[in-house]
Amino acid sequence: MSARRGAAAYAKGHAKGAGAYARVGVESGVMAASPHQLIVMLFDGAQAAIRAARLHIEQGNTAGKGQSISKALDIVNNGLAAALDEEKGGEVATQLAGLYDYIGRRLLQANLRNDTDALDEAERLLEDIGSAWREIGRADQGG
């Protein structure tokens, strides 16, 4: 085996190993996270997916854009919105549910029309809600 092929094989195997290590790190983080931290992780994941979608739009990668927007939608609909407790959260939970629905519609529009303005708005809204959520966590920890 040539040195070049050996290095390429190692790099490929190393990349797989790094990916597995990252997955274990994320899974460990999720397992150790409080419910509050899990919500923060959902906000972070949705925003990362939106940033990836924006890059895919700029690069003309339709499949990548669709996958990234689908991931963001999944996090918003099946993570953030599903975590709402309208009995305990009352009016705030109801308003957040409406806002998550709106964000989902903006993400769908971004996907259908390559609309980066819709992506920007969805990302801004998620950042606003997420930063408020982070502040609640700091206040609860006395920080």
- Give the H/E segment covering residue 109: helix 86-113
Residues 6+ apart with CB under 8 A from 81: 96, 97, 100, 101, 104
Can you give the pTM of this predicted structure?
Answer: 0.77
**Tokens at residue 96, please?**
């957040």
Does residue 5 have a pLDDT over 60?
no
pLDDT digits 0-9 by tens, 41-98: 999 999 999 999 999 999 999 999 999 999 999 999 999 999 999 899 999 999 999 9
Distance (Å, whole) CA 61 – CA 82: 30
pLDDT digits 0-9 by tens, 115-132: 999 999 999 999 999 999
Please count the other Cβ atoms lying within 10 Å of the Cβ belonging to residue 100. 22
